[in-house]
Chains A and B, each alone.
Chain A
Amino acid sequence: MTRQEYMKERRSEPWRDELRRSVKAKERGERPRVHMNELDPEFRSHELKAEVNQGLTKEQAIAEAGRCLDCGNPTCVTGCPVEINIPTFIKNIERGDFIEAARTLKETSALPAVCGRVCPQEKQCEAQCIYIQKMGKEPVAIGYLERFAADYERLNGIIAEPEKPVSNGIKVAVVGSGPAGLSFAGDMAKRGYDITVFEALHEIGGVLKYGIPEFRLPNDVVDVEIETLRKTGVKFVKNCIIGKTISHEDLRAEGFKGIFVASGAGLPNFMNIPGENLIGVMSANEFLTRVNLMDASSPDSDTPVQKGKSVAIIGAGNTAMDAVRTARRLGAERAMVVYRRSDEEMPARAEEVKHAKEEGVEFLTLHNPIQYEGDDKGHVQRMLLQKMELGEADASGRRKPVPIEGATEWIDVDEVIVSVGVSPNPLIPSTFTGLDVTKWGTVVINQDTMQTDLSDVYAGGDIVRGGATVILAMGDGRRAAEAMDKSLQAN
C-alpha cells in the first residue's frame, strides 16, 4: 500500500467521516487561529532555561484542530520533509484522542516534540495549508498541534512502549547523533536492524544539545525522545570519533554492513577581517557550546563563559537568534544583530525574530562589520560597521548587499559572536578513503539512494547540504534508511 493509499484509508474511517460532517467547512474556516501562550518578554529575557513557548492547553488544541478541513488531498503533507500524516493526527486531537495523535506522529517522525518546536513551519507544512493557499487566511497551526500531542504523551507519562521489532541481525553504524542520525536510527531499528550510533561528544543529540538553547528546546524533551530510541534497541556510543577512534575499516571488520554518515556541518566560518582573533570575539558554536552543552553559566560548571554587556551577533540565521537571545539572558544590556541584508532576507524562523525583538534585541540590518579593535589587553572594545544598500538581484534572485561608500560607524562592544554560517566537518571526508566531496566540503551522494561513492556508506543532513534545518536532516535520515534497507535486503 502506498503512503497515499494509507492516508486515504485512515481518512475514510467512520469516526473521521462523522467528525468531518459534524461542522460545516465554512464555519471551520471562520474560526481564528489560536495563539501560543508565551512567557512575558521582560521576565523571560533574564531566564536562560525557561521555555518561552508554553504550549497549547487541551481546549486550545481541540479548537485549533477544529479549523483543519481534513482535505481529501492534503497539500500540507507535501510540505513536510518526513511526510507526517497531518490530517490524521490533527483529527485525533479534535476528537480528544491525544495518544493516538502522538502515535500517528511517530509513524514517520523520530522526534515530534523537537520538530513541533524548531521546524520553520511557515516555510514547510503550514505554507502548503489550504487556508493560506486558497482562502487567504492564517494556516492551521500544525507545528503547535504536533508539539501539543508529543508533549501530552510525555507529560502524562503514557509513552507507548515502542514495538520491539524482530531482529534481522544486520549491523548498521550511524556516525553522529544529531537529527539526521537519530531519524535514521529510529527508522532502521523499526525495520529490525542492529543499530549503533557513534557520537564524538559526551552527550547525545548533536545540535539539539550543543546548539539550540533550552529556552527554545528543553534538554529533557530531547532526552525523552532519545530514550524512546534506546527502548527500540538503538545503542549509543559516546566519546567515539569515527575516522579517529575507530576507522572505516574497523567498522567493516566488526561486521557493520552499512554506515550512515550524519556528522553535520560543525565547522564555523569566520569573516577574516582585522581583529577577529581578539579576546571576546568567538564563533556562535563556541558561545552556544559553552552555554548549552557545558552549562557554563551555572555556578557548578567548570567551564567559563564571557558575559558581555554590549554584545554584537554577526549574521541573522537561527543560530544568530539563539546566540543573541542567550547573550541577553546572560546579562547583555545591549544585544545587537548585525546583518548585511534587510529584514526580509533574514533566514531565521519568523517566530525567533519576533521573540528576539520582544526581548529587546536591536537589529542593525544593512550593516556589515569590517574591523574590530581591542584594548591594551587584547580584549575587543569596538567594531567598525559598513553601512550597506541592496543592489541588483543575483542569479538566485536575492538582492546583493553593496557598501555605501564612506558610510561607516564605530560601535562599542565587549563581545562579538560570529554566526555567518558553518561548513561541513572535514573529519569524515579526510579519513574515509575514496569519498567524493564538493569544493564546499559537502559529501557527494546519489540523490535517489543517498549513497556515496563507497557502496556501504550513505550520508545525509548537513554533511551533504551544508548548514540547513533539523527537519531536512531528519528527512534525509528517513530517505537513507529506506534506501539502505532496500539495498541490504536485495543482497
Chain B
Amino acid sequence: MNKIIQKQYFSPKVVEFVVEAPLIARSRRAGHFVIVKVGEKGERIPLTIAQSDVEKGTITIVVQSVGLSSEKLCNLEEGDYITDLVGPLGKATHIEKYGTVVCAGGGVGIAPMLPIIEAMKKAGNRVISVLAARNKDLVILEEQVAKYSDEVIVMTDDGSHGQKGLVTNGVESVINREQVDLCVTIGPAIMMKFVSLLTQKYNIPTMASLNTIMVDGTGMCGACRVSVDGKTKFVCVDGPEFDAHKVDFDEMLMRLKAYN
C-alpha cells in the first residue's frame, strides 16, 4: 500500500508528498513517472518522480492543484493512502557527459527536473539551472537544485525573486556568454515550445519532457500521442523525453485542451 509519509506545502497550491513505494523507489531512474489514482472512482493521472529513497522505500512527488484530480490528491494528509500508484513508467533520461547542460524548468516542472539535474551533475557535466515561475512563491526546490548545479538562475514574471523575465531570457543569457552542449526543458507546454524555438536558433540539442493527457500510462491507449518528426509517438512508452526540435508543440498544445 502507498502510505503518505510526509506532506509539505511549497505554496498554497503546490504540495510535495513523500510516499511509501519500496519497489518503485528501487527500480526508478531519472525521468521516470508514476500514475496515481485517488479514490475508487478516481482518474488516473501521471506525475513525475522527483526523488526516491531506496533505504526508506519512498518516492517523492510534487503536485500542483490545477483541477479535480490534482486537488483530490493535494487534499490527502500524512498517514492517508493513495488508492492506486503504479510505476516507474516511461523511458529513463539518457544521461551521459555532454559538457555544459542548461536545465530550464518552469513552475512545478522544476520537481521532475531535479533528478535529471542531479544525474547530469553526477555524470560530470557543468550544470546551469534556470528556474522560472510567475512569482517568488512559485519558485520551488531552489536549494535542492543549487546542490547539484554549478549555477542557478531564477527568473520571475514579476521580478519578485531573481531576475525579471521569462525562462527564455535566462537561457539566452547563458547561450550568449558560453558554449552550451545540451538543453533540458520541463514545464508548461507553451514554455517548452519557446525554449525549443530559442535553442533551435542557436542549434543547441534540446530534450523536452512532455506532459500530455494520459489514461493507462503503459502504451495501451494512445491518449498521450504526439507527433515527433512527423511520426506518431506515445509519450508514456516512447517518452516522456523527446528531441524538442522535432516535437509538434502546436498539436500538443491543441490536444491538451481536449477536455477543457
Measured between beta carbons, the chain B residues less than 8 angstroms from A238 are: 84
Q: Does A201 contact B (CB under 8 A)?
A: yes
Partner-binding segment picked from B118-126, B174-182, B216-224: B216-224
A304 near B41 with CB under 8 A, answer: no
Interface size on B, residues (CB 8 A): 39
A270 near B232 with CB under 8 A, answer: yes
A302 near B222 with CB under 8 A, answer: no
A290 near B215 with CB under 8 A, answer: yes
A245 near B255 with CB under 8 A, answer: no
B222 near A283 with CB under 8 A, answer: yes
Measured between beta carbons, the chain A residues less than 8 angstroms from B218 are: 200-201, 241, 266, 425, 427
Residue of A nearest to B39 (CB): A302
A303 vs B216: C-alpha distance when bound (angstroms): 12
B258: contacting residue among A200, A279, A300, A301, CB under 8 A: A279
Annotate A226-261 by CB proximity to B: 1 below 8 A, 0 otherwise: 000000000000111100111100000000000000
Annotate B84-106 by CB proximity to A: 1 below 8 A, 0 otherwise: 11111100000000000000000
Q: Does A119 contact B (CB under 8 A)?
A: no
A202 near B89 with CB under 8 A, answer: no
Interface of A is mostly: loop
B220 near A282 with CB under 8 A, answer: no
A246 vs B258: C-alpha distance when bound (angstroms): 34
Q: Does A272 contact B (CB under 8 A)?
A: yes
B215 near A426 with CB under 8 A, answer: no
B255: contacting residue among A268, A279, A301, A303, CB under 8 A: A279
Measured between beta carbons, the chain B residues less than 8 angstroms from A302 are: 39, 41-43, 68-69, 72
Residue of B nearest to A243 (CB): B27
Annotate A138-168 by CB proximity to B: 1 below 8 A, 0 otherwise: 0000000000000000000000000000000
Measured between beta carbons, the chain A residues less than 8 angstroms from B223 are: 282, 286
Q: Does A298 contact B (CB under 8 A)?
A: yes
Measured between beta carbons, the chain A residues less than 8 angstroms from B84 are: 202, 238-239
Given contacts A277-B225, A302-B72, A427-B218, contact A239 B257 (CB under 8 A): no
A244 near B41 with CB under 8 A, answer: no
Given contacts A246-B27, A247-B27, contact A289 B86 (CB under 8 A): no
A294 near B44 with CB under 8 A, answer: yes
Q: Does B23 contact A (CB under 8 A)?
A: yes
Given contacts A303-B43, A377-B257, contact A267 B220 (CB under 8 A): yes
B219 near A267 with CB under 8 A, answer: yes
Within A270-287, the residues touching B (CB, 8 Å) are 270, 272, 276-277, 279-280, 282-283, 285-286
Interface size class of A (residues with CB under 8 A): 35 or more
**B257 to nearest A CB, angstroms?**
7
A239 vs B37: C-alpha distance when bound (angstroms): 11
B257 near A201 with CB under 8 A, answer: no
B219 near A295 with CB under 8 A, answer: no
Q: Does B254 contact A (CB under 8 A)?
A: yes
Among A202, A247, A283, A425, chain B packs the most CB atoms within 10 A around the CB of A202
Within B29-51, the residues touching A (CB, 8 Å) are 37, 39, 41-44
A267 vs B24: C-alpha distance when bound (angstroms): 23
A241: contacting residue among B37, B86, B227, B257, CB under 8 A: B86
Within B222-260, the residues touching A (CB, 8 Å) are 222-223, 225-227, 231-232, 237, 251, 254-255, 257-259
A286 near B86 with CB under 8 A, answer: no
B41 near A245 with CB under 8 A, answer: no
**B93 to nearest A CB, angstroms?**
15
A290 vs B44: C-alpha distance when bound (angstroms): 10
**B10 to nearest A CB, angstroms?**
24
**B220 to nearest A CB, angstroms?**
4
A286 near B221 with CB under 8 A, answer: yes
Q: Does A391 contact B (CB under 8 A)?
A: no
Within B192-220, the residues touching A (CB, 8 Å) are 215-216, 218-220
Annotate A294-328 by CB proximity to B: 1 below 8 A, 0 otherwise: 11001011111010000000000000000000000
B86: contacting residue among A200, A267, A283, CB under 8 A: A200
Measured between beta carbons, the chain B residues less than 8 angstroms from A301 are: 41, 43
A285 vs B216: C-alpha distance when bound (angstroms): 10
Measured between beta carbons, the chain A residues less than 8 angstroms from B258 are: 279-280, 306
Measured between beta carbons, the chain A residues less than 8 angstroms from B232 are: 270, 272, 276-277
Known: A302-B39, A303-B43, A426-B219. 15 other contacts (CB 8 A): A200-B218, A201-B86, A210-B220, A240-B23, A244-B89, A245-B87, A245-B88, A270-B232, A272-B232, A277-B226, A289-B220, A289-B221, A302-B69, A304-B259, A378-B251
